[in-house]
A = this chain, B = another copy of it.
Amino acid sequence: MAVTTRRPSARERLLASADELFYREGVHVVGIDRVIEHAGVAKATLYNTFGSKDELIRAYLQGRHKAIEKRIADGLTAYASPREKIIGVFDIQGGRFTNPEYRGCPFVSATAEALPGAASVSAADDYRAWVRALFTDLSRQAGAPDPESLGQQLQVIYDGIAVGMRMDHDRTANLAAGLELVRTLLAAALD
């Protein structure tokens, strides 16, 4: 009954390798050679599959985006009201943030020193638009009088937590402060 364990394709191994190395050490620091060596894939295969390092970075970020989307979509089913779902987003992501392997928002890191036209920039744009739409939609469903404004404020908190989680030593205090901030904001905007 065991499923035949198919060896992952070269593309899958490349993406897994890029995801691990790019996130842990940074897209600029990690070179192509290390990605292919860690994936056990030839260099020509990388360039046949992705075309350039920039496109590999894009694929890596899009994978992160999809994973976050799925994690939040799955996690939010456990929360009932829109208001609880907003808290839920921070709870779900907070679980990731407290992971010792958390290295900050991959989109913030990848675009920190990116050139204007880089693939990472457009991938980050897509991600941030999705986050904002998520918060704005939930705010609207929760009956906020100005859902755009509330959504943007929630994103400010979301970003602030992620930055503090990467740069500060006391992650617990940071996350707690962010959650407290969310509760205060919701009480003021919805009650």
Q: Which of B113, B124, B158, B166 contacts A28 (CB 8 A)?
A: B113
User: Which size class do A's interface residues fall under?
Assistant: 35 or more
CB distance from A157 to the nearest CB of B (A): 6
Main secondary structure of the interface of A (DSSP, over half): helix
B181 touches A153 (CB 8 A): yes
- Chain A, residues 33-72, CB within 8 Å of chain B (1/0): the string is 0000000000000000000000000000000000000000
Q: Indicate if A133 sits at the interface (CB-CB under 8 A).
A: no
Could you name 15 residue pairs across A and B whose Cβ atoms are closer than 8 Å? A26-B113, A27-B113, A28-B113, A29-B113, A29-B115, A109-B113, A112-B113, A128-B167, A152-B174, A155-B164, A156-B164, A159-B160, A160-B163, A181-B181, A184-B189
